[in-house]
């Protein structure tokens, strides 16, 4: 698979295979794990942060192996769904950071190009999410709106 904004092919990373059954050392039951994940998500964490806390503090290597569903689906089923998808939120945060950098360093041309590439990536991703009904139909990217949504 090739990279979006470069002429190179890139490298695909390896992925951890998910076993069909939960490991034997996991002491949490499915309901306890769901309660803990929902409590952490209501505390302001996104799904990746919740998974990291469950891995490091509770010894759960994979929520998917224990519960049978992915973390985002588990949180959405329990009513803890974020306004924006997590990857779009991360891109918006990066754009806001880059805009602040460019306001103090206006001649940084390589980062100006990076900003335009990142904004086009946001627009493509938003188009996909609007098609799949994960974003409202009238949602569109604006630089001022990104600042408001991140803060």
Percent of the chain with pLDDT over 70: 97
Question: How much is the pLDDT for 2?
Answer: 66
Q: Which pTM value belongs to this model?
A: 0.79
Q: How far is CA 53 from CA 32, 107, 135, in A?
A: 14, 41, 28
Q: Of 52, 77, 102, which residue is a domain's last?
A: 77
Answer positive or negative: Cα dihedral of 82, 71, 131, 2. Answer: positive
Q: Of 39, 58, 77, which residue is a domain's last?
A: 77
State the total domains in the chain: 2
Question: How much is the pLDDT for 94?
Answer: 96
Q: How confident is the model at residue 13 (pLDDT cuts 50, 70, 90)?
A: confident
- The verdict on residue 13 lying in a domain is no
Range of the domain at 54: 30-77
Q: How far is CA 130 from CA 14, 136, 144, in A?
A: 30, 6, 20
> How large is the average pLDDT for residues 108-119?
95
Kindly state whether residues 93 and 65 are assigned to the same domain.
no
Answer positive or negative: Cα dihedral of 77, 80, 42, 59. Answer: positive
Q: Of 59, 77, 95, which residue is a domain's last?
A: 77
Residue 58: both structure tokens together: 């509770």
Distance of CA 89 to the CA centre of its chain: 7
- The verdict on residue 138 lying in a domain is yes
Question: How much is the pLDDT for 77?
Answer: 94
CATH code of the domain covering residue 101: 1.10.287.10
Kindly state whether residues 58 and 103 are assigned to the same domain.
no
| Residue bearing the bigger pLDDT, 13 or 24 | 24
Question: How much is the pLDDT for 122?
Answer: 95
Q: How does pLDDT run across 51-70, given as a tens digit for each residue?
A: 999 999 999 988 888 888 99
Kindly state whether residues 55 and 99 are assigned to the same domain.
no
- The verdict on residue 15 lying in a domain is no
């Amino acid at each position: 698979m090739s990279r979006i904004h470069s002429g190179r092919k890139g490298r695909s990373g390896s992925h951890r295979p998910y076993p069909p059954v939960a490991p034997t050392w996991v002491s949490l039951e499915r309901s306890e794990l769901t309660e803990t994940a929902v409590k952490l998500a209501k505390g302001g964490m996104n799904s990746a942060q919740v998974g990291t806390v469950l891995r490091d503090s509770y010894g759960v290597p994979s929520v998917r192996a224990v519960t049978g569903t992915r973390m985002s689906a588990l949180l959405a089923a329990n009513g803890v769904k974020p306004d924006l998808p997590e990857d779009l939120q991360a891109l918006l945060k990066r754009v806001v950071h880059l805009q602040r950098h460019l306001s103090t360093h206006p001649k940084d041309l390589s980062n100006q190009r990076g900003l335009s590439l990142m904004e086009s990536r946001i627009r493509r991703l938003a188009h996909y999410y609007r098609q799949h009904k994960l974003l409202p139909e009238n949602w569109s990217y604006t630089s001022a709106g990104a600042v408001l949504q991140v803060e």
